[in-house]
Amino acid sequence: MKTRLAALLAAMAGLSFVGVAPAMGAIGDVETPTVTGPVPVTADSTPWAATDKALDSYGYVEQEFEYSGDAFAWDTSGPSDQTGTRITTGGPGDDGRYPYRTRMIVRRPANPADFNGTVIAEWQNVTAGFDLEANWFGDPEYLLDNGYAYVAVSAQRVGVNFLRGWDADRYGDLDVSARDSGGAETITNDALSYDIYAAAIKALLDGGNGADPLGPLAKPDTVIASGESQSGGRLSTYYNKVQPVHDVVDAFLITVSTGALRHDTATPAIRVLSETENRTPRTEADAPNYRQWEVAGGSHLPRMAFDNFQAPIERDLGLTLSASCVDYPLSRVQWPFVVNSAYEHLVDWANGGPAPPTAPRGEYQDTPADPNNQLVRDELGIAQGAIRMPEMSLPVQVNTGINAADPAGGGLFSAFCFLLGSNTDLPEQELSSRYDNWATYIDQVQTAADDLADQGFILDQDVPRLMAQHRQVPFLRPTPARRQSGGKQNAGNFTLAWKGTEADQSTFELQHSADGGVTWSPVPGAEALDDPAFEFTGKGEGEGEWTYRVRSVTTIPADAVRDEYAVTTPWSEPSGTTTVDKTAPKLGLSCPKRVKAGKRAYARIRASDEGVGLRKDPSGKRKIRTGRKGAKRIKAKAVDGVGNRTVKSCRVRVVKGRR
């Protein structure tokens, strides 16, 4: 960690205290907690929301540690640029200290050589009544692929009290609340949480009193504090009120959480907002220590995060997460890719590198009819401005950050519909007016993704992952089927290939027409193809002038928010004509049986073809050489335009002529 003395001394000038501070070393220091663990994992005792990722395949381990110590409450009232007050009265010794015991989850590289030097320390979100690693669930693959150490901290009463009830044997001794002699909580506003969170980071830096949470890893070069939504709000308060004193964090990533951050500190921060939060203007300006990145069309809970947390949360709650919303929920705008870029910018920024790019903000109506929905939208309802992922700049759906619970009710998760945003498939007519076919769309998405990477809002390494998601888009018709080289048209044995959706649940249907596209019929054996190609084998395609077309049918599986449904694309544009002609040319050859030597003689050839026509017409007379006696073999060949051939021969005997 970089030296924090200068920042600490600067912060002390604005710090006020209530009561007398106990001996903790220099004022502003964070106590190093006592750390125990890793807590054993058995068949009957596992961590809450343990990851379902195959960490071994990434070279990672997951461990849970408990840590304990004393925490002070903080008075965080007042303007955002006013440092908070550590309260030094109260507690068992009336010195402001309150004992606590909580836990942290650590996911780290098993091999110290694989550690990239950065720890992401996430303040767990407790909106749902339990700990939720919201930013981890956004895109764990990125963290695992790039050598980060990830630490999830349980700092708040709601999360810890849930753990105590969920598994009393494992978590019964955890407590982050002050309690009276009867066990009732006396501090219910989580005023202790700031010290408790900071203590976890101090343990990562110092190795802890007891167990080292990072095990064999080197001490981190950079610690990024991370929080989403509710916990992002706690981190905003921590940034403004406590970080100037603690100074244990190098940079802050706050996602889908609003609120002003002070601009008189050197600690860099990036705030990433979805459309759910910026439906009304968020006017905080960028500053030397601050960037605000708004992602158009994103929902507060991104689809990537929902897909990642659904299995472990359902497993540990023993129930199914389902929602019944007014509109089909969960925007498909994948803003966790923007978060990945923010992490890398923060590491550079915190260590003296360049500041991240300034992002465009949302565009707002001059006189909005709805004060809660002020964004400018196009005729489809697509919000304008902000960082535009391909889902917005090249839409196949209308993605928004807006939704509400279905008044009819149903679905345990329905109370959160307002956070889920929405997505609505564009009608076929709109799609066909925008994109000629699937391949055209993919080419345009590639350009858009490359541009975002060049601008610094997504990472180059994430472009292939983003493209893989778009290659599964099921709504666009395939390219025309084209005959591949190497097949024998005259035998009807050749391969047709096209480009179309790569969704796992997709099949392709191939049809052909022998009358230029007036009537169509299925190609036998090609009614439901798994791959975008079909080979005519055996007797092959029938004779004729064939034109082909193809479409895809994709089954979208049922999930927590929608029943199974199918997407059938329009037919592709017709292919060019492929001629299948299996009939060889007609060939006639007549020769005289005997010819006297030295006499003129001719073979007569007659050729015709009722299919594609002759490549070269051999019809006519062919002179027979009669200069020498003996048997002569005369050969004739007729070849049509696709290679069918007929060969005939005749014998002529040249005999001695009379004198």
Please report, for the domain that includes residue 616, its CATH number: 2.60.40.10
Position 55 pLDDT exceeds 80: yes
- DSSP, collapsed to helix, strand or coil, labels residue 239 as helix
Residue 639 and residue 525 share a domain: no
Which of 580, 603, 632 terminates a domain? The answer is 580
**What distance in Å separates the CA atoms of residue 320 and residue 308, rounded to the nearest whole number?**
14
pLDDT tens digits, 577-625: 998 888 899 999 999 999 999 899 999 999 999 888 899 999 999 999 9
Q: Using the structure block, give the residue that is written with the tokens 């051939």.
A: 645
Domain extent, residue 555, equals: 482-580
pLDDT tens digits, 191-224: 999 999 999 999 999 998 999 999 999 999 999 9
95, 101, 102, 106 alpha-carbon torsion, rounded to 10° = 100
346, two tokens:
């923060």
Which candidate, 325, 148, 115, 342, places its Cα nearest to that of 228? 342
When pLDDT is averaged across residues 487-494 and rounded to a whole number, the result is: 74
**Type of residue found at 56:** D
The secondary structure of residue 417, as a DSSP letter, is G
* 569 close to 432: Cβ distance less than 8 angstroms: no
Residue 502 and residue 547 share a domain: yes
pLDDT of residue 487: 55
**Mean pLDDT of all residues in the chain?**
93
Residue 604 and residue 489 share a domain: no
184, two tokens:
């009732």
Q: In what order do the strands lie in the sheet with 594-596?
A: 594-596, 645-655, 630-639
Does the residue 455 lie in any domain? no
Would you call the peptide bond into 38 cis, given omega within 30 degrees of 0 as the criterion?
yes
pLDDT of residue 491: 77
455 φ/ψ angles, rounded to the nearest 5 degrees = -80, -15
Residue 550 and residue 597 share a domain: no
**What distance in Å separates the CA atoms of residue 302 and residue 275, rounded to the nearest whole number?**
11
Residue 89 and residue 42 share a domain: yes
* Distances in whole angstroms, Cα of residue 645 to Cα of each of 578, 606, 611, 615, 636: 19, 14, 12, 10, 11
Which of 548, 580, 612 terminates a domain? The answer is 580
Residue 21 and residue 99 share a domain: yes
Position 181 pLDDT exceeds 90: no
Position 496 pLDDT exceeds 60: yes
**What distance in Å separates the CA atoms of residue 381 and residue 403, rounded to the nearest whole number?**
13
76, two tokens:
């965080």
Element (H or E) spanning 304, and its range?
Answer: helix 303-317
pLDDT of residue 9: 29
Does the residue 574 lie in any domain? yes
Which of 250, 267, 284 terminates a domain? The answer is 267
pLDDT of residue 208: 84
Q: Using the structure block, give the residue that is written with the tokens 């969170």.
A: 197
Does the residue 49 lie in any domain? yes
* Distances in whole angstroms, Cα of residue 42 to Cα of each of 47, 170, 422, 621: 10, 11, 40, 96
Does the residue 53 lie in any domain? yes
- DSSP, collapsed to helix, strand or coil, labels residue 197 as helix
- DSSP, collapsed to helix, strand or coil, labels residue 366 as coil
pLDDT of residue 441: 98
When pLDDT is averaged across residues 410-434 and rounded to a whole number, the result is: 93
Does the residue 514 lie in any domain? yes
- DSSP, collapsed to helix, strand or coil, labels residue 104 as strand
Does the residue 381 lie in any domain? no
Residue 253 and residue 224 share a domain: yes
Residue 523 and residue 598 share a domain: no
Residue 563 and residue 647 share a domain: no
**What distance in Å separates the CA atoms of residue 405 and residue 412, rounded to the nearest whole number?**
11
Total domains present in the chain: 3
Position 659 pLDDT exceeds 90: no
For the chain, the straight-line distance linking the first and the last C-alpha, in angstroms and rounded, comes to: 120
Least confident span in 111-125, 138-152, 314-328:
314-328
Position 467 pLDDT exceeds 50: yes
SS3 readout for 447-472: HHHHHHHHHCCCCHHHHHHHHHHHCC
Residue 591 and residue 561 share a domain: no
Residue 597 and residue 568 share a domain: no
pLDDT of residue 4: 33
- DSSP, collapsed to helix, strand or coil, labels residue 266 as coil
